[in-house]
Amino acid sequence: MKKLIFTVILILLLTPMVYAQSSNRPYVILISFDGFRWDYPDRGLTPNLEKMAREGVRALSLEPVFPSKTFPNHYSMVTGLYPENHGIIYNDFVDPFNGLRYKVGDTTSVRNARWYLGEALWETAERQGIRTASFFWPGSEVHLSYRHPSYFKYYDGKVPYRARVDTVLAWLRLPEAQRPHFITLYFDASDTEGHRYGPNSPELNRAIERLDQTLGYLLNGVAALPIGQQVNVVVVSDHGMTRIDSTRTVAIETGLEDLPHRIQGYGPLVMISAADSLLPKIYQRLRERQNHYRVYRRDEMPTYFHFSRHPFIPALLVVAEIGWSLLPDHFPGAYLSKARGNHGYDNHHLDMHGIFFAVGPAFKNGYRCGTLRNIDLYPLICRILGIMPRENIDGTLERIEFILKNGS
C-alpha cells in the first residue's frame, strides 16, 4: 500500500514538469516554395519575405544537392543526406536489379517505402515522442505507418493554397497532446510557372506575389495562435531555375545508333546504361564530340557532386552546361516549344540556388548570412526541437548553427 501511495505521489509531482516541458517545446513549420530562385525576393514583390528578413534570418542563397531536381532535394532537406545516400537519385529512375521504376507522378512508386533510405525528420521526431504533420512533402506519404507523420496528406496539386494553410493552423489548434511540433508545407507555383514561361516572365512574377501573399496569410494566422510566440517558420526552396530555349539543345544519342544502350533522364542530366563491353565505346564517342556537356564514368564523377556511390546510378553520366538541354532520340520535339525554364544542372551554379528565410524564437533577429547548404536543415531543425539527429548523415550542425540565437 505504501508503495502504491508513493508511486501516485511521484506521478502527481512529475506530471506538471512533463506538461510544462511539453508546453514549452518549440514548433517548426518548414515551407517549400518549389523552384523559387535565390534572387526572386529582390524583385520588390515579396513584402512578407522582407518582413521575415527584418525580424529573422535571410541567407544569400540555399545550395541544393546534385542533381538540382525536386524530389532528390526535398528528401535531402529532411534527411540530411545526399541523394547517393538516401536513394532518391532523380525524379525518374530505374532499379537495375529488378527493373522497378520510381517516377514522380506515379503514386504507386512514390508511396513505396523501399525507395527511401535514411530517416526523414518526421521519423526522427516521432521516434522520440514528438508528433509531426505534413501537407505535402516527398516521402511523407509512404504506406508504412511508422515512416510517415502522424498527420499527412496525399499529394493533390489542386488543393487551394489557403486551404493548405488553414489545415496547418487547425493542426496547431489541436489539444497539446495531439498537436504536431514539426510541420511541412509545400507550394509549386514558382516551379510550375518557371518551367512554362521562364524565370524572367510576368507569369513567374505573379506566382512570386501569390506565394508571398500566402506566406503573409500563414504568418498572420500563426501570430494569432495562443502558441504563436513558440512557432518558428522556415521558408526554403529546393532549387532555382534557369532559362532554356530550342537553340541550345544537344541530340545526345547521335552517333550511338549502333551501340545498344538505355537512356534515363533528359535536359540537364542524362544517365546511360549498356552492356559492359559497349560502355567504353559509348564513353569515347561522347567524349569525342563533347560540346556543351561533360561525360563522366560513374567512378570519375567529381566528388563535389556527391553522386557516384548509389548502385542505382548508371555507369555513364552526361551533365549539360547550364541552360543547355540534352535530348534523347525518343524525347518529344514539342518539349522545348513549351518549356522556357529548367533546373537539375550543376548545383553550385547560382541559378540553381534557392532561398532560406527563417523567423521565430530560435533564430537571430535581422541577421543576413551567406550561402547555406540544404543538407544542414535536418540537424538544424533537430536542434530546435531538442531531439537527437541520426549520426550517419552528410549534413552538419556546425555549418549552420550560427543563425540560431546563442547557437541554441
Q: What is the CATH number of the domain that holds 81?
A: 3.40.720.10
- The closest alpha carbon to 116, from 143, 151, 156, 152, belongs to 143
| pLDDT tens readout for residues 206-243 | 999 999 999 999 999 999 999 999 999 999 999 999 99
Residue 298 shares a structural domain with residue 230 = no
| 61 and 209 fall within a common domain | yes
The helix-helix angle for 202-223 and 161-172 (nearest 10°) equals 20
Q: List 187's β-bridge partners, or say none.
A: 33
330: confidence class by pLDDT, cuts 50, 70, 90: confident
What's the grid cell of residue 281? 565505346
Q: Identify whether 206 is part of a domain.
A: yes
CA atoms within 13 A on the CB side of 355: 30
Q: What is the mean pLDDT of residues 286-312?
A: 97
pLDDT tens sequence across 26-66? 999 999 999 999 999 999 999 999 999 999 999 999 999 99
Total domain count, the chain: 2
Residue 50 lies in a domain: yes
Residue where one domain finishes, among candidates 338, 361, 377? 338
Instruction: Assign residue 300 the CATH number of its domain.
Output: 3.30.1360.180
* Selection from 16, 20, 24 nearest residue 362 by Cα: 24
Name the DSSP letter for residue 266. -
Residues 6+ apart with CB under 8 A from 87: 115, 116, 117, 118, 310, 312
The 10s digit of each residue's pLDDT in 79-119 is: 999 999 999 999 999 999 999 999 999 999 999 999 999 99
- Same domain for 45 and 136, yes or no, is yes
* Domain hosting residue 175, numbered range: 26-242+348-407
Asked if residue 354 and residue 283 are part of one domain, the reply reads no
* pLDDT bracket for residue 335 (50, 70, 90): low
168-217, pLDDT tens digit by residue?
A: 999 999 999 999 999 999 999 999 999 999 999 999 999 999 999 999 99
Based on the fold, state whether residues 161 and 278 are members of the same structural domain. no
Query: Which of residues 69 and 3 earns the better pLDDT score?
Result: 69
User: How are strands ordered across the β-sheet holding 356-359?
Assistant: 151-152, 132-135, 182-187, 27-33, 231-236, 356-359, 57-59, 367-369
The answer as to whether 12 is a domain residue is no
What average pLDDT does this structure show over 281-309?
97
Name the band, by pLDDT with cuts 50, 70 and 90, for residue 408. Answer: low
DSSP per-residue codes, 162-231: HHHHHHHHHHHTS-GGG--SEEEEEE-HHHHHHHHH-TTSHHHHHHHHHHHHHHHHHHHHHHTSTTGGGE
Higher per-residue pLDDT: 347 or 337: 347
**Is 124 considered catalytic here?**
no
| pLDDT averaged over every residue in the chain | 94
In percent, the amount of the chain with pLDDT more than 90 equals 91
Q: Going by C-beta distance under 8 Å and a sequence separation of 6 or more, which residues neighbour residue 387?
A: 124, 125, 128, 130
* Most distant pair of Cα atoms in the chain: their distance: 88
Q: Indicate the pLDDT class of residue 15, thresholds 50, 70 and 90.
A: very low
Q: Which of 7, 15, 46, 70 does the annotation list as catalytic?
A: 70
Question: Which of the residue ranges 72-76, 97-101, 127-131, 403-407 would you say has the lowest mean pLDDT?
Answer: 403-407
Q: Is 1 within a domain?
A: no
Query: Omega of the bond prior to 332 within 30 degrees of 0, cis?
Result: no
pTM: 0.94
Q: Is residue 7 part of a domain?
A: no
